[in-house]
Amino acid sequence: MDMNDNKKRQSMIVYVIVALAVIFAIQSVFYPQIQKATITTVDYSQFLADVDASKVSKCDLNTDTSVITYYLKDSSGAADESQTYETTQFPNDATLVERLTKAGVDFSAHIPDKSSDLWMAFLLYYGLPIAVFLVGGWFLNRQLKKSMGDDMTFGGGFGGMGGLGKSGAKIVAQKETGITFKDVAGQDEAKESLEEIVGFLENPGRYADIGAKLPRGALLVGPPGTGKTLLAKACAGEAEVPFFSISGSEFVEMFVGRGAAKVRDLFKQANEKAPCIVFIDEIDTIGKRRDAGLSTNDEREQTLNQLLTEMDGFDNHKGIVVLGATNRPDTLDPALLRPGRFDRRIPIELPDLAGRTAILELHAHDVKMEGRIDLGIIARSTPGASGADLANIINEAALRAVRMGRNRVTQEDLLESVDVVIAGEKRKSTVLSEHEKQVVSYHEIGHAIVAASQKGSMPVSKVTIVPRTSGALGFTMQIEEDEHFLTTKKEMTDRIAVLCGGRAAEELVFGEMTTGAANDIEKATSTARDLITRFGMDEKFGMVALGQVQNRYLNDAATLTCSEGTAQQIDAEVQRIVEEGHQAALATLRDHRFKLHELARYLQKKETITGEEFMRIFTRDDGFAPNLPKPEEGATRQ
């Protein structure tokens, strides 16, 4: 019997002793009180008086103890068993039977079975409570062990301070996770990098013959939602080996040294189940770079040191592979990334157009859809979307189909779900006044006209003034026809001009500004700053990096790495570039002022128009939509 069994045995003994003590205490205190509350003892003379007064309904004589138990009559003449009376029979009372007969009392006598009474009393008052306590204790002990680790016990068996030394790692599957590479789409390069690890786990002899060693670890790096955990499970599923899954935050404890103990226990379990895969999610929680600053965390560093030691110490030939996932690789300690620990760094990037299409098709297999569904439009509408975002789009479309009373998803459901993921649900509670609705219409048409007037710009696919839960009162959507990975300076300045188109339309038509352009201004300023500091496209500063991206997987914003004087010049240059885009937007809208009025009124009436509707009106020669009044003369003289 090992130490864990001894602890469990001790804990159960302690629990039984405590349960018995509590039961006897309850019985000794409460049972006499209950007896006193339900049975009333009276004098024998009182009993005879009740019999002579015809108050007694029935009585019973215990021949062993000479105790008479009787019940009085209720209002209907039946026995009132809610109250029991007891008295002791007077010796040699020969007149009792005559009195009982004369009063019409039902009387009887019995010789009690002492053994059955004792057993019944024990079972009722001791056996049943003991059983309840034991079953409750077993169930409670089992639940606590599940939640706090197998070493959690009661009483004297607090193994490892309540399981704090256990790793808490969950074996997702003993032989297979149910997920293979077929269930992962849009990450072909990452799958190719992991296939070699799968091949080694399946047939290590083929690699050992040539002298190759299995990589000890691989680091999956990428933005959130790109499928790092899914790929790790697929890797274990392909190799059909046990899969240990644990988060880096589970190593962090309030007790010093417990994180290191969990690391030791994790690799002990993995060594027993080898070959296997150990997956540590959010490994940056314990793997941050060590330094000599005052803000160091001794507990975290001890956990990291133990992890480094365990990765150096386990037998590589047994087939233990450690997969780590993070979206903050820049914060990891260099000792963790060196060869011999995490030998490989596998980037899990956001999917491209073909990858997004494949992911949508993969998730669409589980959803009932109409026959004519073009997922390519959805893929082109979602540049920069992760696999989780695309799965959410499919799910939102299915939910919308159910809400609309349909049993199949339509193209309209998918297009609306894109809007929901990008801008949020429609805000039915937000009702714009006619003037605000008019302002928003001109604002969005301003964006669309500037975009449509540019050569090589992304086509406009939708313009809407329906408020969304994200706070947007409307938006203009552009879709790329073909995906490209390089952006020229002209494309960036054109993008700034499109962002300025909404504010320019407000100034041109109403002669005033509103707060509706806040997000446009933020994006235009950020684009102009990146043009200068990151891409070296500005003539004044030339090809110099004046900013640095801290983490391109979580936040693509750059921080300045220049002197204060240079920063002031950058601010002035950013202001100049944005203002040039503003003036370009104003000039474009002046050239198309009639179309601006016409399209704004058309949008105000319909609230949402497609890109085809917009381009049909914008390119029409007559300049005015049918059944719509021409703009006033004063409105055209802007």
- Residues with a known catalytic role: 444
DSSP letter (8 states) at residue 610: E
- Among candidate residues 235, 217, 219, 216, the one with its CA nearest the CA of residue 328: 219
In angstroms, rounded to a whole number, what is the distance separating the alpha carbons of residues 487 and 241? Answer: 45
Give the DSSP H or E segment for 432.
Answer: none
In angstroms, the Cα distances linking 531 to 87, 250, 457, 538 are: 105, 42, 18, 7
C-alpha 260/C-alpha 267 separation (Å) is 11
The residues near 333 (Cβ < 8 Å, ≥ 6 apart) are: 287, 288, 289, 290, 304
The tokens describing 49, both together, are 């008086």
Residue with tokens 């993070």: 326
Q: Are 84 and 71 in contact (CB under 8 A)?
A: yes
* Separation of alpha carbons 462 and 499, rounded Å: 16
Cβ-count burial 67-102 (b if 16+ within 10 Å, e if not): ebebbbbeeeeeeeeeeebebebeeeeeebeebbee
Cα 348 to chain centroid distance, Å, stands at 20
* Residues counted in the chain: 638
- Token couple for 504: 């320019």
